[in-house]
Amino acid sequence: MKNCLFCKIIKGEIPSTKVYEDENIFAFLDINPNNIGHTLVIPKKHSRNILDIEERDLKNVIMGVQKISQAIKKAVSADGINVMNNNEPVAGQVIFHTHFHIIPRFESDGYKHWKGKTKYAEGEAEQVAEKIRKEI
Ligand code: 5GP
Ligand code: ZN
């Protein structure tokens, strides 16, 4: 896709520090890492995000995320891994080419998990679950 930064990275038109590539996916270090080894995994075929990506591309990407997560954990001796995927601006998506963040985590890195601050009213959980079930 024209004017997509990550499509340009796949084509080598913009430099990146590649960690893995096969016929379907590409993985490279994030330019602004949360921790050393923070990697982005993307499908070679352009899609906007997880809401429109084709099943085949998503399967390939997520299998790559597992393989590369295992490699990163060993390579940087991480204590754990966060896999993150942002969809649409309100959720923090800035680059509109599907990507998964693999962020190695260290006991001492100081990042804190979000705490849930929403509560369901009486009966609301079942209503919401029913709405979601109808859409699947
Ligand atoms: P998002 O917020 O869309 O989920 O994440 C986009 C990610 O892309 C950010 O973490 C950002 O640091 C990374 N990024 C943006 N531009 C570049 C670039 O030119 N090269 C690399 N390697 N990463 C980039
Ligand atoms: Zn793209």
| Confidence at residue 97, expressed as pLDDT on a 0 to 100 scale | 98
Question: Per-block average pLDDT, block size 10, for the chain (136 residues)?
Answer: 95 98 98 98 98 98 98 98 98 98 97 93 98 98
Distance 83 CA to ligand 2 centre (A): 20
Own/partner pairs for 11-17, CB < 8 Å, 24+ apart?
A: none
**Single pTM value for the model:** 0.97
Shortest-distance Cα residue to atom 16 of ligand 1? 31
| Confidence at residue 56, expressed as pLDDT on a 0 to 100 scale | 98
Helix (H) or strand (E) holding 18: strand 18-21
| Confidence at residue 114, expressed as pLDDT on a 0 to 100 scale | 87
Going 61 to 64 to 65 to 68, the CA torsion angle's sign is negative
Distance 53 CA to ligand 2 centre (A): 11
Domain containing residue 94: CATH number: 3.30.428.10
**Backbone phi, then psi, for 78, in 5-degree steps?**
-75, 155
Ligand 1, residues at Cβ distance < 6 Å: 5, 14, 16, 28-32, 40, 86, 92-95
Say how many domains are in the chain: 1
- Domain extent, residue 72, equals 5-135
